[in-house]
């Protein structure tokens, strides 16, 4: 039986994908350095603690486990940090991806699913992007991911790789059964921060930028539930296993919510009196970013199950309450 190597599989998105893969009977090995991931989030798979940039380790895993496909999540993902420390992002996100791809080529692994980002579009005209929108990242995080996309494209042209690049918009929510979730300390994702505040983990909540050219002045994003995103990865794997062509696909719902709308939903669902302050814009944040994701539905037969902001908030809030109860019991 073949094996799937999942890099960063102990992290937020990767762990949800690993869980879905395991539930359908796939053999999975996870490579994660646990800097931002958690060993107990890896369910139904073998965990190897190590770095994607360790070519000797990666080559051994590909060979020993008879890996036939790689899903690559391991990356730094915080936009403001990438602006402050760009070389950290080019080193981890770009150079380590190059090393991983080299190991795949040497081992003859030619199916690759890549965790990319809508940040490759920068600030698209009208705030809406399809897969053919010009690629103009406005922060090092987006640039570091775009460079990896370019390497994959060139490997595909050379005949050494077939791939699916999935460009995530704003990923949110947690496993509806409460088994795993977003546990990253000092997270910067809006919904995570808002839910942490709602359960008392943070003293307040900030809106960064209230003067954007949007209906309520705050940024607008396309929020996709992590379970729907994970399901897209399984569809991508099936596509490559049936000799499907290389694809680049947006992952979103095709509509957006403003920062204020998200906060209001957290306030309503939690019943908490949120303390919200207004701060200047952060560097590297576009005013609006919404997906045109028709191609994902058409090419992979993907249909979202959780396209509802209140449901997304409920699952995220349930996870924060679980974490708070666990911490209180320690």
Q: DSSP class of residue 284?
A: T
**Band (185; pLDDT cuts 50, 70, 90):** confident
Q: How far apart are CA 174 and CA 178, in angstroms?
A: 7
The torsion angles phi and psi of 306, rounded to 5 degrees, stand at -130, 40
Give residue-wise pLDDT tens across range 116-138. 999 999 999 899 999 999 999 99
- pLDDT of 164 above 80: yes
* CA neighbor of 80 nearest in space, from 92, 88, 70, 91: 88
- pLDDT of 39 above 90: yes
Question: What's residue 160's pLDDT?
Answer: 83
Distances from the Cα of 119 to the Cα of 78, 129, 193, 256, angstroms: 11, 10, 20, 15
**Which H or E element spans position 97?**
helix 96-107
Question: What's residue 284's pLDDT?
Answer: 73
Q: How far apart are CA 207 and CA 187, in angstroms?
A: 15
Q: How far apart are CA 111 and CA 236, in angstroms?
A: 10
- pLDDT of 330 above 90: no
Q: How far apart are CA 271 and CA 9, in angstroms?
A: 33
Largest CA distance in the chain: 57
- Confirm whether 12 is a catalytic residue: no
Mean pLDDT computed over 37-50: 96
* CA neighbor of 292 nearest in space, from 115, 127, 145: 127
- Residue 96 tokens, joined: 């380590």
Q: How far apart are CA 313 and CA 172, in angstroms?
A: 8
Quick one: CA dihedral 113, 169, 193, 83, positive or negative?
positive
| This prediction's pTM | 0.96
Q: DSSP class of residue 86?
A: H
Catalytic residue among 141, 168, 212, 253: 141
Q: How far apart are CA 318 and CA 326, in angstroms?
A: 12
Task: Give me Rg for the CA atoms of the chain.
Answer: 19
Mean pLDDT computed over 179-205: 94
CATH code for the part of the protein at 3-172+224-251: 3.40.50.720
Question: What's residue 202's pLDDT?
Answer: 95
The distance from CA 157 to its chain's CA centroid, rounded to whole angstroms, is 26
Give residue-wise pLDDT tens across range 245-285. 999 999 999 999 999 999 999 999 999 999 999 999 987 78
Mean pLDDT computed over 15-22: 98
A 10 A CB-CB count for 104 gives: 24
**pLDDT averaged over the chain?**
96
At 220 the three-state DSSP class reads strand
- pLDDT of 1 above 80: no
**Band (156; pLDDT cuts 50, 70, 90):** very high
Give residue-wise pLDDT tens across range 46-93. 999 999 999 999 999 999 999 999 999 999 988 889 999 999 999 999
Question: What's residue 215's pLDDT?
Answer: 96
The distance from CA 128 to its chain's CA centroid, rounded to whole angstroms, is 19
């Amino acid at each position: 039986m073949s094996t799937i190597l999942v890099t960063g599989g102990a992290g937020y998105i990767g762990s949800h994908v690993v869980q879905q893969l395991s539930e359908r009977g796939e053999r999975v090995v996870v490579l994660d350095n646990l800097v931002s991931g958690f060993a107990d989030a890896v369910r139904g798979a073998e965990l190897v603690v190590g770095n994607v940039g360790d070519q000797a380790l990666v080559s051994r895993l590909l060979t020993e486990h008879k890996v036939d496909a790689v899903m690559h999540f391991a990356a730094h993902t915080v936009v403001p940090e990438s602006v402050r420390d760009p070389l950290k992002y080019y080193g981890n996100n770009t150079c380590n991806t190059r090393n991983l791809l080299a190991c795949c080529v040497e081992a003859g692994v030619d199916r690759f699913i890549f965790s990319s980002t809508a940040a490759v579009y920068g600030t698209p005209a009208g705030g809406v992007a399809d897969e053919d929108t010009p690629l103009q990242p406005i922060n090092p995080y987006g640039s570091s991911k775009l460079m990896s996309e370019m390497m994959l494209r060139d490997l595909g042209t050379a005949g050494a790789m077939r791939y699916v690049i999935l460009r995530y918009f704003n990923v949110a929510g947690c496993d509806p059964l409460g088994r795993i979730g977003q546990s990253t300390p000092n997270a910067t994702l809006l919904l995570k921060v808002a839910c942490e505040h709602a359960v008392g983990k943070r003293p307040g909540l900030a809106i960064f930028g209230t003067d954007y050219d949007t209906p309520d002045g705050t940024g607008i994003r396309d929020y996709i539930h992590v379970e729907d995103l994970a399901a897209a990865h399984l569809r991508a794997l099936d596509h490559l296993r049936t000799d499907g062509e290389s694809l680049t696909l947006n992952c979103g719902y095709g509509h957006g919510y403003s920062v204020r709308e998200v906060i209001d939903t957290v306030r309503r669902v939690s019943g908490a009196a949120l303390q919200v302050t207004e701060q200047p814009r952060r560097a590297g944040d576009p005013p609006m970013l919404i997906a045109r994701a028709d191609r994902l539905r058409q090419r992979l037969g993907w249909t979202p199950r959780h396209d509802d902001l209140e449901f997304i908030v409920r699952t995220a809030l349930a996870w924060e309450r679980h974490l708070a109860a666990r911490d209180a019991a320690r």
